[in-house]
A and B are shown apart, each in its own frame.
Chain A
């Protein structure tokens, strides 16, 4: 079983549209949305929820006012500025609290206890392209890394149980905690970037990260015709770093329209009656075939990209191990 992670460093480069397209193109897979902060994949795959679980992680300090003698040691010990003293008594700010438990240990009166808090939810769903694991972190929460690990664990379990060939993961933006949790042990990290100065800069940082964790990486340039100069810069950089540019997707308004319709860009809707085959074979809506085709230029490029990514996934593993 192979794990493909799609990340971008910079947000908004079209990562989710690429993942949703792969979902439509791949045969035997489970989908995982690890962008638990701002999950969007469900908007393109319209999952039907099968299971919903509470994600209990951050433990919150709570004060028992009866027991508190106002010594202030908790406030001194808290390094996250979560306990202020007001009128001689501590006031805990739940948003600043990291759940480190130090105050509960330090309090001589045992007046602070840690209570479990629901930090979010995670779901197992069914989509027309296969099973999907996704999650929603509550606003202003920590522990996105732990929730990512939970989503990955479940996706792996499903893949193993159902004998699926790969896990396709929509990763979070950035290079911090949730990305680090997403990246460990994947077979290939596909970095979707765009030819903008910010896209180039952020891609370089994500490639530093894949190198740091010794993960196989490949790059795809979305909206490659937006700025030829920057596209060249990306290609030169990748060439020098021996990172393959596995695909280039031209700007195509169809990509945005697909998002508005709630469809992967490689799928196409005909007159509101459901999908049609790109080759006009007249399959009905809802047929078991997931290879719905659109022949827009972006969709074509994504299909070529997927072919190359498949090669990399299976061939890298064979030569690498």
Chain B
């Protein structure tokens, strides 16, 4: 089963919920944690994984063989991203703009274009206690997060460890890197805060998960610090509020120093186990957390 943790707005406590959910369930069920926020990965700061394997992720970008190129300009005409410019005298590739679609290589009538790998970041995999861990790190200056997110997602086999769980920590926002992170999830937890910012961005996130047809529930973090418009929105839309984490300066301080909430505050461990039970129940998994996938149930 794949649960993704997302939020329209950044800084609402997405990573906190993802990390502490993983820690609360550690040992009880097999877990693979994927930090898909490749632009600003943070989960490792709390989980301190031991990295066992690291791999560069490349994008194939075109290289033009000047001796074969006759300046026909087909490549530039094909490229939807203005990443290749054809002049009479030479053809210039702008690798930062290239999406690696392969169009120019495929369609060059002279066969003058080949591809060479350009590094866009790296994926690291390891272990944090009993939790399997993967994350990606976008190379500074590289614009394209989705291919790297896909590479992080590929480190998890299928729907996760047998009878276990893949927890995806998604990046903030609602555009392509988020889609790449949460696509195909069985459930999406949207973390928000009870302020107009939180509400506005939650509505955007709800639009997104509905578009992707993923069931969702909400966690309200820092409850009590703002107003109650988020709760009324949720009840109006029929979206379950799975958990409210009250605002407490002690939690904020624990987070600030990289601490683990479930270890310092046992109450929160229970709360997060409760969160998992609610999700598991609503997705047809059984009580003690062993997921019975729908396919298996049908056999």
B172 near A38 with CB under 8 A, answer: yes
Residue among B9, B40, B208, B225 making CB contact with A205, cutoff 8 Å: B40
A199 to B256, CA, bound (A): 8
**B residues 32-46 touching A (CB-CB < 8 Å):** 37-40, 42, 45-46
Residue tally, chain B, CB below 8 Å to A: 59
Kindly list chain B residues whose C-beta atoms are within 8 Å of the C-beta of A273. none
B239 CB within 8 Å of chain A? no
**Given A11-B11, A227-B253, A260-B196: A139 and B208 interface contact (C-beta under 8 Å):** yes
Kindly list chain B residues whose C-beta atoms are within 8 Å of the C-beta of A43. 196-197, 200
> Contact string, A208-223, partner B, CB cutoff 8 A, digits 1/0?
1100110000000000
Residue among A173, A196, A256, A262 making CB contact with B10, cutoff 8 Å: A173
A80 near B174 with CB under 8 A, answer: no
Residue of A nearest to B193 (CB): A12
**B residues 155-199 touching A (CB-CB < 8 Å):** 171-177, 179, 183, 195-197
Kindly list chain A residues whose C-beta atoms are within 8 Å of the C-beta of B140. 175, 205, 208-209, 212
A144 CB within 8 Å of chain B? yes
A197 near B258 with CB under 8 A, answer: yes
Kindly list chain A residues whose C-beta atoms are within 8 Å of the C-beta of B78. 101-102, 105
Among A92-100, A235-243, A299-307, the one that faces the other chain is: A92-100
Chain A-chain B contacts (Cβ-Cβ < 8 Å), number: 186
B207 CB within 8 Å of chain A? yes
In the complex, how many angstroms separate the beta carbon of B114 from the nearest chain A beta carbon? 16
A230 CB within 8 Å of chain B? yes
Residue among A194, A201, A208, A260 making CB contact with B42, cutoff 8 Å: A201
Contact-residue size bin, chain A (C-beta under 8 Å from the other chain):
35 or more
A173 to B38, CA, bound (A): 12
A140 to B207, CA, bound (A): 9
Kindly list chain A residues whose C-beta atoms are within 8 Å of the C-beta of B142. 176
B101 near A80 with CB under 8 A, answer: yes
In the complex, how many angstroms separate the beta carbon of A91 from the nearest chain B beta carbon? 16
Most chain B CB neighbours (cut-off 10 Å) among A106, A194, A202, A212: A202
A142 CB within 8 Å of chain B? yes
Kindly list chain A residues whose C-beta atoms are within 8 Å of the C-beta of B257. 196-197, 227, 229-230
Kindly list chain B residues whose C-beta atoms are within 8 Å of the C-beta of A13. 11
In the complex, how many angstroms separate the beta carbon of A221 from the nearest chain B beta carbon? 12
List, sorted by A's number, 18 A–B pairs whose CB atoms are closer than 8 Å. Answer: A12-B9, A37-B172, A38-B9, A38-B200, A38-B204, A40-B201, A59-B80, A99-B80, A101-B80, A102-B101, A105-B103, A139-B204, A139-B211, A140-B175, A175-B39, A194-B256, A197-B42, A201-B45
Which A residues fall within an 8 A CB radius of B?
A: 8-13, 16, 37-38, 40, 43, 59, 77, 79-80, 95, 98-102, 105-106, 137, 139-142, 144-145, 172-180, 194-199, 201-202, 205, 208-209, 212-213, 226-227, 229-230, 253, 256, 259-260, 262
Q: Which 9 A-B pairs have the closest CB atoms?
A: A11-B10, A12-B11, A174-B39, A100-B101, A37-B173, A197-B258, A227-B256, A139-B208, A177-B143
Which B residues fall within an 8 A CB radius of A?
A: 8-12, 15, 37-40, 42, 45-46, 78, 80-81, 96, 99-103, 106-107, 138, 140-145, 171-177, 179, 183, 195-197, 200-201, 204, 207-208, 211-212, 225-227, 252-253, 255-258
